[in-house]
């Protein structure tokens, strides 16, 4: 842990898609490790943190490339650069068992893949001289049929986007990996989605956001220097369960 702390202390860390769960946990862990933080969310909420010389809070929409460029430039103006990025914008919406209309599929794709692609594209431009690391956020349903088709397609695409981005940015010493979390303390959502399997999820595989944050921060640190283009499942074995919507 001390090696991770040493590699992240003083680094400029951008956390995009901050909510009350994983993004907030990642931001707090990075602060604990001595990083300078820029938190970005649609709401602009601080989630209990107070702005200071090492904590900046921004309101922005990752599906809008211009919004990301404006925020990036403000971060560079304030901190002088960008070192690592936790890239987690996205949405979850249960579309049921039927095949959704193409418009629903494209909305899900844009809010997940499109938003994270904008972040990679915009912030990697600021990291090309010194290198750095980006961690995207997918979901373990990307590797098993435990969610709606629209959500699964969107999150599965993040795996391939991660791999190709790593390939294209490795010349600049920018690593790109992804975490694929399982059920992260969202009981109401999973009770509705898997009413006949909820006991298996909550009893054995329900994650705390901090558990995902530790893996994410490890991938952002120099301890993960040899890991690039990988998607790491963090779900306590949820992907091994046979989940049904019936």
The pLDDT tens digits of the residues spanning 80-103 come to 999 999 999 987 666 566 788 888
Is the pLDDT at 156 greater than 60? The verdict is yes
The model carries a pTM of: 0.88
Q: Is residue 29 part of a domain?
A: yes
Q: Is residue 10 part of a domain?
A: yes
pLDDT digit string, tens, across residues 104-121: 889 999 999 999 999 999
Q: Average model confidence (pLDDT) for the chain?
A: 87
Query: Could you tell me the CATH number of the domain that includes residue 87?
Result: 3.40.50.720
- Of 75 and 141, more confident: 75
For position 187, what pLDDT does the model report? 45
Q: Is residue 242 part of a domain?
A: no
**Confidence at 19, pLDDT banded by 50, 70, 90:** confident
Q: Is residue 93 part of a domain?
A: yes
Q: Stretch 166-172: mean pLDDT, rounded?
A: 98
CB 183 within 8 A of CB 197: no
Q: Is residue 61 part of a domain?
A: yes
Is the pLDDT at 202 greater than 70? The verdict is no
Is the pLDDT at 56 greater than 90? The verdict is yes
For residue 110, what are the domain limits?
2-237
Is the pLDDT at 139 greater than 60? The verdict is yes
Is the pLDDT at 47 greater than 60? The verdict is yes
Is the pLDDT at 123 greater than 70? The verdict is yes
Q: Is residue 243 part of a domain?
A: no
Q: Is residue 246 part of a domain?
A: no
Q: Is residue 244 part of a domain?
A: no
Structural domains of the chain, count: 1
For position 238, what pLDDT does the model report? 66
């Amino acid at each position: 842990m001390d090696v991770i702390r040493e590699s992240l202390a003083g680094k400029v860390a951008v956390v995009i898609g901050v909510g009350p769960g994983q993004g907030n946990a990642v931001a707090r862990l990075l602060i604990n490790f001595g990083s300078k933080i820029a938190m970005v969310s649609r709401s602009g909420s601080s989630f209990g943190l107070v702005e200071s010389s090492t904590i900046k809070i921004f309101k922005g929409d990752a599906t809008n490339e211009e919004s990301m460029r404006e925020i990036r430039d403000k971060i560079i103006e304030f901190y002088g650069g960008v070192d690592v990025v936790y890239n987690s914008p996205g949405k979850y919406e249960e579309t049921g068992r039927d095949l959704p209309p193409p418009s629903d599929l494209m909305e899900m794709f844009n809010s997940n893949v499109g938003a994270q692609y904008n972040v990679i594209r915009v912030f990697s431009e600021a990291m090309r001289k010194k290198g750095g690391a980006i961690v995207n956020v997918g979901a373990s349903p990307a590797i098993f049929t435990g969610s709606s088709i629209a959500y699964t397609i969107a999150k599965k695409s993040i795996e391939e986007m991660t791999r190709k981005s790593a390939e294209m940015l490795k010349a600049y010493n920018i690593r790109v990996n992804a975490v694929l979390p399982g059920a992260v303390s969202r009981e109401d959502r999973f009770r509705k989605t898997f009413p006949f399997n909820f006991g298996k999820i909550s009893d054995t595989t329900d994650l705390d956001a901090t558990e995902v944050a530790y893996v994410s921060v490890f991938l952002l640190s120099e301890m993960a220097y040899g890991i690039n283009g990988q998607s790491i499942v963090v779900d306590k074995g949820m992907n091994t369960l046979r989940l049904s919507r019936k």
